[in-house]
Structure 1
Amino acid sequence: MKKIFISSVLALLLLASCNKDKEILTTLNDYNIGKQNQGYHFGDKIQIPKDVMDYAEAITITYNDKETDKLTIDPSFFSLGENDITFNIKTKNGEVLQQDATINVFAKTAPEKLNYEIVNQYPHHTDHFTEGFEAHGNIIYESVGLEGKSKIIKYNLGSTQPIQEVPQYNEFSEGLTVFGDKIYQLTYRSKKGFIYDSNIKLIKEFSYPEVMAEGWGMTNDGKNLIVSDGTKFIYFLNPDNPSQIVRSIAVASNTEGYDQINELEYHDGFIYANVWHKPIILKIAPDTGEVRAILDFSELISKQNLSDSESVLNGIAFKGENMLVTGKNWSKIYEVILK
């Protein structure tokens, strides 16, 4: 009888402990679901409910295979945008509870809303599924995508007739950039890129870093290749060894984290990037990833009267201080003055 009584007490204690564990995890989960809508900034302290703190002997956070016991938004640990983390709660009775959560980190300053004025229009070939787009004076370098249709073309702004054209029918070609006397280009999913000379003659292939899921956009700042892979990250690669990541940034404004960063252009100390399937171009600080300004090109998209949902805004270049804008299968390249 005594053994049954002790067993019953132990069962009740175990049940109470399990219920308390669930209560603590629910409290933490509910809190962070609410908190993530508000978001944090770098330097903020992560607010943990008092019930959880009282129940815990120690709390650590795991993110991207790293662990920290610092409950602050440290830029060396977190990135801008969404951070899918795990709270590890060591209770005072020695158990370790785990709760997944998402922590949003935003920029502190709201981006400007930039306006523009269309000052010129040029023809663009409607068969060109534009993936990479760069201007050097009046010469346009364009990377055309889709399997069986991919190619690099070089032509004069105002003409659709190529000066040079190199088919790449076995690839799905993506972003490109002219760096010095070489042309660098990414492919979509084959985990490789190409380096050409100025006459678009192949010099060699390279493998882009394994951390990049896919190849999307590409530009350069005169020191590094700058590439996107369809996530929130922008990577800076060593041009002498494009398999090597120099550093990376994630992209966010003061209220929103952005992923599916696509076509890129570097100009006057900023990265300009479009977001796949959105009518906007972001002006991004290359040191932090903070969005400093947003351009809404809904008007230009509406001028195309396109029925194909994939014929999206996807071409950014600069002619002097004026921006050139086009898209996949668009009939026009627009030259605009930014205001």
Structure 2
Amino acid sequence: MIRNFIKLNILAGFAAVLLLSSCKKNEKMMDTLADYNNSKEKKGYHFGDKLSLPKEVTDNAESITLSVEDQESSGLLIDPKLFTLGDNNVIFMIKTKSGETLNQDATINVFAKNPEQNISYQIIAEYPHDPNNFVEGFLAEGNTIYESDGLEKASQLIKYTLGSKVPAIIEKQPPEIFSEGCAVVGDKIYQLTYRNKIGFIYDKNTLKKLSEFPLPNVIGEGWGLTYDGKNLVATDGSKNLYFLDVNDPSKVVKKVSVAGNKTTYDNLNELEYHNGFIYSNVWHNPIILKINPATGEAVGKFDFTKITKENNHGDSENVLNGIAFKGDNMLITGKKWAKIYEVAIK
């Protein structure tokens, strides 16, 4: 009896040691993965790459499964069917060699393979702009400008001739509406709102409201809007471009995420479509991206730092936020800017 009791105690002791060793090993493995995830030197990936995880993880894992937006993969490949460009929130589900299952949240950055081209330009003309207008949407048809201005109790849709500060037509919004991006489709203008969760459709010639529509649930806030000849394209302040059915703008046709070669671009804002590319400014950043709408790759970048500093007058909210095209020249302006600039792209 005494011998059996001693034997059981020894076995229990061994089991406790093994359990403690396993717990420490698992803890070290998860700490290593957490440190890897939080490291400033964390590696960025491209589509087709294989995830490179710390040796402490791979040596002690029986299997590793990835979960990205509720889709699971048993491989460590950066698959475009699973990942998007930019930041991806991932859950690592690790089955250890000791039979336990561990979960670890992580962020995986996926970048475009080719660097963005720095695009040069030359200012060839300047036009007056009403400095009271908080520009959210801006587009041109020849010398006719359509502009959507934001802020509650000050939102409006206006139409004027380039070079004039006096609108030919003004459509004031109700005081609770905060207007955002706008786009012309045929003889209609579509307009988003910031947090009102609705959009408006107007007659292009008279600016009289024809109807309204609910914003898709996936779009938390309305920011920028353009038309690519087939779909409306919207932003919501994230890294995403949302392609909307022009006949039913509450329906998302597809979603494309945007990134550069070394940079993820959140806060995509005002949009313009021109000659097969989407141009987007980045909120609170004096740049305009040239984006391939099929892949989301930022293929080019304009730097308007100097122009922005000359026009924001020390107010950080008076940002670059207007993109339009006059022929092949770009028109740019911003929130409460006193000027519109015409630039020739070199």
- TM (normalized to structure 2)? 0.94
Structure 1 range deviating more: 239-248 or 21-30: 21-30
2:62–2:97 CA contact under 8 A, matched in 1: yes
- Kindly state the Cα deviation for residue 203 of structure 1 after the two structures are TM-superposed: 1.7
- CA 1:220 to 1:36, structure 2 compared with 1: closer, same or farther past 3 Å? farther
Question: What residue is the counterpart of 1:71 in the other structure?
Answer: 76
| 1:267 aligned partner | 274
Given that 1:36 and 1:102 are in contact with CA atoms closer than 8 Å, whether structure 2 keeps it comes out as no
For residue 133 of structure 2, what is the amino acid of its counterpart? H
Tell whether the 8 Å contact from 1:36 to 1:103 is kept in structure 2 after alignment. Answer: no
Contact 1:131 1:175 in 2 (8 A): yes
| Structure-1 separation of matches of 2:210 and 2:309 | 41
| Residues 1:151 and 2:156 aligned together | yes
> Aligned letter for 2:187?
D
From 14, 20, 24, the equivalent of 1:9 is 14
Equivalent residue for 1:25, pick from 23, 26, 30: 30
- Where do 1:28-43 residues align within 5 Å? 28-34=33-39, 37-43=42-48
2:311 is aligned with 1:334 = no
Gaps of 5+ in 2: none
1:35: Cα distance to partner? 8.5
- 2:312–2:319 contact (8 Å) kept in structure 1: no
Are the counterparts in 1 of residues 36 and 42 from structure 2 also a CA contact under 8 Å?
no
- Residue in structure 2 matched with residue 281 of structure 1 by the alignment: 288
Over 3 Å counting, the alpha-carbon distance change for 1:36 and 1:175 in structure 2 is farther
Q: Deviations over 1:22-62 (max 9, x none)?
A: 11112223334459633000010112334322322221111
1:128-187 Cα deviation digits (max 9, x unpaired): 000000001111000000001001001110001111111113200000000111110000
Contact 1:177–1:218 (CA under 8 A) maintained in structure 2: yes
Distance 1:51 1:206 in 2: 53
1:131, 1:143 within 8 Å by CA — same for their partners in 2?
yes
Corresponding residue for residue 131 of structure 1: 136
Look up the SS of the partner of 1:160 in the other structure. Answer: coil
The aligned residue for residue 49 of structure 1 is: 54
Counterpart for residue 214 of structure 1: 221
Question: Is 1:172–2:178 an aligned residue pair?
Answer: yes
Cα deviation for residue 305 of structure 1 reads 5.3
CA contact (8 A) 1:107 1:290 kept: yes
Answer yes or no: is the 8 Å Cα contact 1:283–1:293 preserved in 2: yes
**Separation in 2, partners of 1:36, 1:74:** 22
Question: Normalised by the size of structure 1, how large is the TM-score?
Answer: 0.96
Q: Distance in 1 between matches of 2:197 and 2:312?
A: 34
Q: Equivalents in 2 of 1:323, 1:156: separation in Å?
A: 16
Match 1:182 to one of 185, 188, 206: 188
The residue aligned with 1:303 is: 310
User: Corresponding residue for 2:198?
Assistant: 192
Where 1:148 maps in the other structure, the secondary structure is: coil
Identity %: 55
Q: Secondary structure at the match of 2:288?
A: strand
Count of residues in correspondence between the two structures = 339
Q: Which residue number in structure 2 is paired with residue 233 of structure 1?
A: 240
The answer for the alignment partner of 2:323 in structure 1 is 316
Work out the CA distance in 2 between the residues paired with 1:36 and 1:180. Answer: 49
User: d(CA) in 1 for partners of 2:161 and 2:75?
Assistant: 55
User: Aligned-pair distance for 1:253?
Assistant: 0.8
Higher mean alpha-carbon deviation, 143-152 vs 242-251, is at 242-251
Instruction: Pick the aligned partner of 2:115 from 103, 110, 115.
Output: 110
Q: Is the 8 A contact 2:160 2:169 kept in 1?
A: yes
| AA of the residue aligned to 2:78 | I
- Aligned match of 1:244: 251
* Alignment match, 1:325: 332
Distance 1:77 1:112 in 2: 27
- When residues 186 and 20 of structure 1 are mapped into structure 2, their CA distance, relative to the original with a 3 A threshold, is same
Q: Render the CA deviation track for 1:199-236: whole Å, top value 9, x for unaligned.
A: 22222111111111110000011100010000000111
- What do you get for the CA RMSD once the two structures are aligned? 1.5
Task: Specify the SS of the correspondent of 2:47.
Answer: coil
| Greater C-alpha Rg | 2
Alpha-carbon distance, 1:308 to partner:
1.6
| Gaps in structure 1 of 5+ consecutive residues | none
